[in-house]
Amino acid sequence: MKTKLNSLAVIALAVAALSMTAPIVNAAGTHGQGHAAKIGSPGKAENATRTFSITMYDNYYEPEGLIIKEGKTVRFVVENKGTLVHEFNIATGDMHMAHGPEMMMMVEHGVLEADKINWDAAKKMQASMGHGMHNEPNSLLLEPGKSGEIIWTFPDHAELEFACNVPGHYDACMMGNIKLVH
C-alpha cells in the first residue's frame, strides 16, 4: 500500500531537512552535464517513440515506476498537482544524492520556497555562484499547478530513477524506478 502524507507532513519533513546542517558543496552539473553515458541525453520530439504522463503530488508520483526500452527516446509530460514545488529529475541514485546540497543552497538563497520559485533570487544566485536557475534537460522544477515536458533518450544498461530533490522530498521517498529493458 502506498503511503500518502498530507501537505503538512511533507512541509514538516522539509522544515526538518532545512534545520539540519547541510554541507555546502558545488554540485553544479549533477543534473545531466557530463553524465550522458550514465543517464542518456536530451532527445528530439520527432524521435520520441512513447509519451508518459507524470503527475507529481506532495510526496509521490503517478505512475510510481516506468519501464522503458533501452536506447529509446521518450517524451515526459509532467504536471505538479501538489501544493508544494516539486522536481522531476532523471538520474542515478548517486546523482540524486549529489544534487541534494545544490537544492539546499537554492532554499538557503531564497530560490525555493515551499509553494513557489523565486526567479529573482535564482538570477542573483546564478550571477554570484554560477548556478541557481535549475535549467537542465533531464530535470523540471515546477510550482503547484504548473506543467512541463522533457524529451529524453535513454542509454543501455543503466540503473536510473526519477526523483524530487527538493529538500526533504527525496527522504520522504518521492522517487520512482526506471527499468530499462531490451
pLDDT digits (tens, 9 = 90+) for 10-41: 443 443 343 333 332 223 344 444 445 589 99
Grid coordinates standing for 93? 541514485
Tens of pLDDT along 88-146? Answer: 999 999 999 999 999 999 999 999 999 999 999 999 998 998 877 788 999 999 999 99
| 118-129 per-position pLDDT tens digit | 999 999 998 998
Q: What is the pTM of this model?
A: 0.81
> Residue 135: its pLDDT value, please?
84
The answer to whether residues 134 and 124 touch, using CB atoms and an 8 Å cutoff, is: no
Q: Please, what CATH class does the domain formed by 41-181 belong to?
A: mainly beta
Kindly report the CA angle at 17 between 12 and 19, in degrees rounded to 5? 95
Yes or no: say if 163 and 138 are a contact pair by the CB < 8 Å rule: no
User: Please, what is the average pLDDT of the chain?
Assistant: 84
> In whole angstroms, what separates CA 53 from the centre of its chain?
15
126: its cell numbers: 546564478
Distance in angstroms between the alpha carbons of the first and the last residue of the chain: 29
Tell me what pLDDT residue 130 has: 82
79-117 CB burial, b ≥16 within 10 A, e <16: bbebbbbbbbbbbbeebbebbbbbbbbbbebebbeeeeb
Choice between 9 and 86, residue whose per-residue pLDDT is larger: 86
For the record, the C-alpha cell of 160 comes out as: 536510473
The answer to whether the CB of 153 falls within 8 A of the CB of 73 is yes
45 DSSP 8-state letter: G
| Span 71-86, average pLDDT | 98
Determine the Cα–Cα distance for residues 40 and 153; give it in Å rounded to an integer: 6
Q: Is pLDDT of 6 > 50?
A: no
Average pLDDT over residues 144-165: 97
pLDDT of residue 32: 40
The answer to whether the bond into 42 is cis (omega within 30° of 0) is no
Is a pLDDT exceeding 90 seen at residue 158?
Answer: yes
Q: Is it the case that residue 68 has pLDDT exceeding 90?
A: yes
Determine the average pLDDT of the residues in 163-177.
96
